Amino acid sequence: MTVAIETPSVPPAAARRRSALARLTVTELKLFLREPMLVFWVIAFPLLLLVIFGLIPSFKQTHPGYQGLTVLETYVPIIILTMLALLSFFSLPVTLATYREQRILRRLQTTPAGAWRVLAAQLAVTVGAGVVMVAAILVLGRLAFAVPFPLAPGIWVVVALLTAACTLSLGLFIAAVAANPRVAAAIGNILFFPLMFFSGLWLPIPSMPAVLQHISHATPLGAAWESFQAAALGHWPPALALGTMAAYAVAFGLAAARLFRWE
């Protein structure tokens, strides 16, 4: 009589790698949500900013330089850019710099999980948070303040993806060159405030002097605002604006890949 012996199945290497990445992503998401100040600035602050702007009566009026849009409608993409900049310039690089300083990345290089999966998990959490927040900003603007959805949603999504690639490449570059989380936060501040100014946060781009407008269009967030506005009006952004964002994404992405250190 023969006895059949069942051999336990071993999941293939690809499945094990996917499982490890999924567990790391869930862990990184939990750590992200456990940081109250981070959650406030990335999640609550953009929505609060939208509510404050939406309650200002003058923001509901059109402006000659805004191509028929209200002031609030021009500020919705600026609020989205603020959220993406906070995620990319602070959350992502500070976390990775902290892991490097605490030698977490170095230790993970010797494990099956691998340090690259930590980077992939961080990017997944950052992108996921960005997608949720973009949807929340658009929906809140529509329901609470009658801000219409973009007239060209497909183009708008393309612009959003290119903008995310641009800001994330800048964030990864900060993470690559920052020796510790304090340096990463300092570089993030140095980039955040000038770039947000040229995105129109304090002074809308159409209201800027001509010189500042030209400078703004050459910055990543200024080009992103111009592209979002074009998509909101239902047409493709200027090729120069798209090319500017793509150039920043490629240049800083390649620089980050070349300079990134695990320890």
For residue 218, pLDDT over 90 is answered with yes
Distance CA 147, CA 56 (A): 14
Total residues belonging to the chain: 263
Task: Tell whether the model's pLDDT for residue 249 goes beyond 70.
Answer: yes
Read off the pLDDT of residues 135-175 as tens digits, 9 standing for 90 and up. Answer: 999 999 999 999 999 999 999 999 999 999 999 999 999 99
pTM over 0.85, yes/no: yes
The mean predicted confidence, pLDDT, of the chain is 88
Residue 202: both structure tokens together: 């304090």
CB 125 within 8 A of CB 30: no
